[in-house]
Structure 1
Amino acid sequence: MQHQWDEMHRTRKPTFVRCGEPQGDVLNLYVHGYSAFFNRQQLGNFKEQLAGIEGSTNVMLFWPAGHFLENLFAPFKDVLGAVLGGGGLGAATVGVGKAIAYFLDHYKSVEARVDEVAKSLLPELATYLHSESLQVRRINLIGHSLGARILVKSVLANPETARELPLDNLLLMGGAICTSSPWDAVAAPLKGRVINCHSSKDWALAIKPDSERCIGRYAIPVTPALKAKVTNVHLATFDHAAYWPQLQTVVQYTDLLHERRGMIRSDQRSSEVRFAEEDAELFPALVQARPEELKFLAELMAQKRSTSIDATVREPLKLAIELQRMGGDTFMNMARGHGVSYRQIAEDVVQRLGIKFDQPLATVELPDLEAQVADRLIEQYKDKLSHADRLVFDAELQAAAQKEQGLFSRFDRGRSATTALSGTALAGLTGFILRRGAATAIPVVGQAVAAAMLLVTGVRAFSGPAYSITPLAVLVIGVIRQRMEREALNQEMDLVAQVVEAFDLPRDTVMRTVPSD
């Protein structure tokens, strides 16, 4: 690792780094983005992480992507000079402007290397495979941020080499490249798909220093000709920094290694499996759920006599399938081969709880539906508690508020239980319910929807949705989503927070620089 680090930084020439021992005849080539590694330890940790992707031979392209900490104090010398020299706020403001310009110039200098790296990537990969005597049947290309741009440009710059190599899938994560790129030409030499993982919570691409509409935030436009070759995967809770830490999840969720195909063909519930995995508003959230959240959902659904799972289940796929079943009518589920989508479950819960919106329900954002369900259920839940439990509940509220992370606290104790809560505080409140267990929560929530059940008679009452289960499930899944979004924002804002605290900048001014969706 020492030699590779020194050699790349001496020559500025990209180098291939094998991560772990070869595992079969499928090669995954990973290309990192801007500011990926500050030291050898970070590079070594990343190498170990890639080595943990089983079922393939894993190789990384280590290229001179720079790091914004390389000359950390250079951009702030004017700021420090102004402060120490008594130059006042005006001089310090000029210094901050120069610091920002420095970081933008640093990014632009790295971005300028992309075309050079891309031009030689595929030919050098072919040479590397020959020199290392690696016999591969399929090659998956995986790129993050500027690494995604390198891979796209490399395929476009070397179409003949791309056709000669056994290229399978091109997985783009938080890609810093325009949505209007020639995707037909990119997809042409691939035996598999172009898989675009994008997220509207990718704040880094939102403030990228140009007006480019990047695929990391938006879906690739899919024409009829591209329908079989391009797949857009919306990872709603991911920020720009989330892809590498959760790479195993991304690989499994996108089926990069074709691990699910045989299972789906032989599975008698294949339509349920596919429907659950394609529910982008449910399955990714369950994949990212914490153990206690999965435990609560399993215990919650296991209370239903007709359930097909028990309280020990922790697999996100099984939980997703069961929740979709409980959200639908039993006979209709049998007719269509699966349950209903999570969005439909959330809308149904909103209607059953009598929650009203000023706009048509179908146009309301899913997090807004979940927030209103949480607001209604937690208030009702609190009213049903004993005096002693309510004291514990209030203490939980205060503790959760004090743990609030990030620059700007949105919590106001004078407002209702959830309308002003961030993900951290809401998770803290729901943690109280989780620790008490599903068995104690169901009777309370069951009373909240009992009036709705009076309207249901005959066969419908026997076969209809599990209204004592789905409201609490929507509450918990909403908590998972809010927590992931909050953690994502905190990661992106961490550097900004350090600068704000160091120079005592006006927080409202800094907040206005962060664009919202």
Structure 2
Amino acid sequence: MQHQWDEMHRTRKPSFVLCGEPQGQVLNLYVHGYSAFFNQQQLASFQAQLAGIEGSTNLMLFWPAGHFLENLFAPFKDIIASMLGGGSLGAATVGLGKAVGYFLDHYKSVEARVDEVARTLLAELANYLHAESIEVRQINLIGHSLGARLLVKSLLASPELARELPLNHLLLMGGAICTSSPWEQVSAPLKGRVINCHSSKDWALALKPDTERCIGRYAIPLTPSLKGKVTNVHLVTFDHAAYWPQLQTVVQYTDLLQERRGMIRADQRSAEVRFAEEDVDLYPVLLQARAPELQFLAELMAAKRSATIAADVRDPLQLAIELQRMGGDSFMNLARGHGVSYRQLAQDVALRVGIKFDQPIDSVALVSLEERVAETLIEQYKDKLSQADRQVFEAELRAAAQKEQGFFHRFDVGRSATTALSGTALAGLTGFILRRGAATAIPVVGQALAAAMLLVSGVRAFSGPAYSITTLAVLVLGVIRQRMEREALNQEMDLVVQVVEALDLPRETLMRTVSPDC
């Protein structure tokens, strides 16, 4: 690794890095984007992560994508020195302007290298496989950010060689390339599909120093000729930094290795499987659930007499299908061939517990629905408790919320759960429920639902356990979704930590930046 690191930085030529031992005849080639590795340790960590992808031979293209921290410290030090030394705001502004100008120039210089690397990439890949005696029957190309652009450019630069190689899928994650690229030509040599993973939360691409409408934020427009060759996958919770840390999830969700009847081979899926896998508010979240959360959901749904799932099931797809079934009417499920979407299920739960909205419920953010359900259930359940029991319950909520919120916990002990900052009530109630298990939690939520519906309509809340089951599921899915948000923020904060350490700033600076209320 030391030799490859030194050689690439000395010659500025890309090199291939084999990650782990060869595994079969399917090759995944991973191409990183701009500013990927600041030091050799980060590269080694990434290599180890790729080695953990099972079912394929994993190869990385290590190319001169630079890092924006290179030579960036000087202008930042000018800013800090000016401010600490009592300098004027004008001096600090000049220093900041230098830093911004450096970043723009640096990014543009790396962007210019893409065409150079792309011109010879496929030829060098073929030569590498031959020299290392690596026999493959299928090659998947996976690129992130500028790495996605590099792969697209390489297919356009060498179409004949691309047809000679056994290229299967092209997986693009947060791609920094225009949606109007010639996708017919890009997809032509592929036996599989172009899979575009995009997210509207990818603000890094929104702030990219040009006006390009990138596929990392938007779907590739599907013409009739592209419908069988391009798949757009909206990963609604992902930001630009989320793809590599959650690569295993992306590989599973897109069924890159074709280990199951997955999203790509749509013609082989049943209506229920297709509907569940395309529910972007549910299935990607279950793929990232922790073992106790999957266990809870399985035991919860298995408690229903009509359930078709066992308590020991942990497969996210099976859990998604079963939850969608429970959210719909049995006869309607039979007629349409599947249950209801998670969004519809959450809306039904919110209305069932008597929540009123100032706007059409279809326009309310999903995370707001989940939080309002948690807050409503807390207040309704507390109303049924004695003063002593209420104090015990609130203490339990606070303890569970603190555990769920982790480093970014800002729970004010002087405030009630319903006036806590966004997500604390949800984390607290869900943590409380998870700690007790499904069997104990159903009566708690059932009592709250019954109380709510008696107030709203004067009748019993439900005939059977279905709503207490789907309500609990909304709480659990909500806390998983918010945990994913926090983990993505943690990844972004790693960069802040690097800058603080590199500039030798006080640790208090970082703490005030991250958590000013602490």
TM-score bucket (shorter structure): 0.7 to 0.9
Indicate how the Cα distance of structure 1 residues 274 and 393 shifts in structure 2: closer, same or farther if over 3 A, else same. Answer: same
Mapped to 2, the partners of 1:441 and 1:403 lie a distance apart of: 18
Residue 373 of structure 1 corresponds to 373
**Contact preservation (8 Å) 2:285, 2:477:** yes
Q: Quick check: 1:70 aligned with 2:75?
A: no
For residues 513 and 18 of structure 2, the distance between their equivalents in structure 1, rounded to whole angstroms, comes to: 46
Question: Are residue 482 (structure 1) and residue 482 (structure 2) matched?
Answer: yes
Equivalent residue for 1:211?
211
Deviations 1:63-86 (A, max 9, x none): 011123333522323124424543
Q: CA deviation at 1:343?
A: 1.6
- Indicate the residue corresponding to 1:439 in structure 2: 439
> What is the correspondence of 1:414-493 to structure 2 with a 5 Å cutoff?
417-418=417-418, 421-423=421-423, 426-450=426-450, 466-493=466-493
2:279 matches 1:279: yes
Offset at residue 194 of structure 1 (A): 0.7
CA distance in 2, matches of 1:385, 1:433: 17
Paired amino acid for 1:104: L
Number of aligned residues: 505
Q: Distance in 2 between matches of 1:297 and 1:260?
A: 22
* Structure 1 residue aligned with 2:4: 4
Counterparts of 1:357 and 1:292, CA distance in 2:
33
Moved >6 Å (runs of 4+): 262-265, 409-416, 453-457, 497-501, 507-511
Name the aligned partner's letter for residue 255 of structure 2: D
Could you tell me whether the CA contact under 8 Å between 1:175 and 1:216 is conserved in 2? yes
Give 2:45's aligned amino acid.
Answer: N
1:226–1:398: structure 2 CA closer, same or farther, 3 Å change rule?
A: same
Q: Secondary structure at the match of 1:477?
A: helix
* CA distance in 1 between partners of 2:231 and 2:63 (Å): 27
CA deviations 1:119-152 (Å, max 9, x no partner) are 1111211222222232222111000111011011
**Per-residue deviation at 1:170?**
0.4
Whether 2:250 is the aligned partner of 1:250: answer: yes
CA 1:254–1:55: 2 relative to 1, 3 Å: same
Check 1:406–1:67 CA distance in 2 against 1; reply closer, same or farther (3 A cut).
Answer: farther
Quote the sequence identity (%): 78
What SS does the aligned partner of 2:140 have? strand
Report the CA distance shift for 1:279/1:157 in structure 2 as closer, same or farther (over 3 A): same
Q: Are the structure 2 counterparts of residues 392 and 187 from structure 1 closer, same or farther at C-alpha, using a change threshold of 3 Å?
A: farther
Closer, same or farther: CA 123–465 of 1 in aligned 2, 3 Å? farther
The one-letter code matched in structure 2 to 1:176 is A
> Aligned partners of 1:84 and 1:467: how far apart in 2?
59
* C-alpha contact 1:174 1:198 (8 A) present in aligned 2: yes
Assess if the C-alpha contact under 8 Å between 2:253 and 2:263 holds in 1: no
- Residues 48-447 of structure 1 mapped to structure 2, 5 A cutoff: 48-83=48-83, 85-261=85-261, 270-385=270-385, 387-396=387-396, 398=398, 400=401, 417-418=417-418, 421-423=421-423, 426-447=426-447
- The farther-off stretch of 312-321 and 13-22 is 312-321
In structure 1, what is the Cα distance between the partners aligned to 2:368 and 2:263? 36
Paired with 1:121 and 1:153, the residues of 2 have a C-alpha distance of: 10
Q: Where does structure 2 lack aligned partners over 5 or more consecutive residues?
A: none
Aligned to 1:514: none
CA deviations 1:159-204 (Å, max 9, x no partner) are 2222221211000011111222221221121111111111122232
CA contact (8 A) 2:354 2:453 kept: no
TM-score when scaled to structure 2?
0.87
For residues 96 and 475 of structure 2, the distance between their equivalents in structure 1, rounded to whole angstroms, comes to 43
Q: Once the 2 structures are TM-superposed, how far is the Cα of residue 89 of structure 1 from its aligned partner?
A: 3.6
Counterpart Cα distance in 2 of 1:216 and 1:405: 30
Query: Quick one: distance in 2 between partners of 1:445 and 1:405?
Result: 25
Contact 1:35 1:66 in 2 (8 A): yes
Whole-Å separation in 2 of the counterparts to 1:3 and 1:442: 59
Q: List per-residue Cα deviations over 1:199-251 (Å, max 9, x = no partner).
A: 12223223222222221122111222211111111111222222112111111
CA 262–473 in structure 1, closer or farther in 2 if over 3 Å, else same: closer
Kindly indicate whether the alpha-carbon contact (under 8 Å) linking 2:178 and 2:215 is maintained by their aligned counterparts in 1.
yes
Change (3 A) 1:84 1:341: closer
Structure with greater contact order relative to length (CA < 8 Å, sep ≥ 6): 1
Calculate the TM-score normalised by the size of structure 1: 0.87
Q: 3-state DSSP class of the match of 2:466? A: coil
Which amino acid letter does the alignment assign opposite residue 11 of structure 2? T
Cα distance in structure 1, aligned partners of 2:441 and 2:92: 55
**SS class of match (2:439):** helix
8 Å contact kept, 1:349–1:470: yes
- Mean CA deviation greater in 49-58 or 301-310: 301-310
Give secondary structure in 1 for the equivalent of 2:259: coil
The structural deviation recorded for 1:415 is 7.3
Q: Secondary structure at the match of 1:467?
A: helix
| Corresponding position of 1:515 | none
User: Is the 1:282–1:342 contact (alpha carbons within 8 Å) kept by the matching residues of 2?
Assistant: yes
Partner of 1:42: 42
Q: Distance in 2 between matches of 1:132 and 1:443?
A: 62
- Mapped to 2, the partners of 1:411 and 1:251 lie a distance apart of 36
Contact 1:203 1:239 (C-alpha < 8 Å) held by counterparts: yes
Quickly say closer, same or farther: Cα 1:46–1:115, change in 2 above 3 A: same
Kindly indicate whether the alpha-carbon contact (under 8 Å) linking 1:168 and 1:192 is maintained by their aligned counterparts in 2. Answer: yes
Considering only aligned residues, what root-mean-square deviation do their CA atoms show, in Å? 3.6
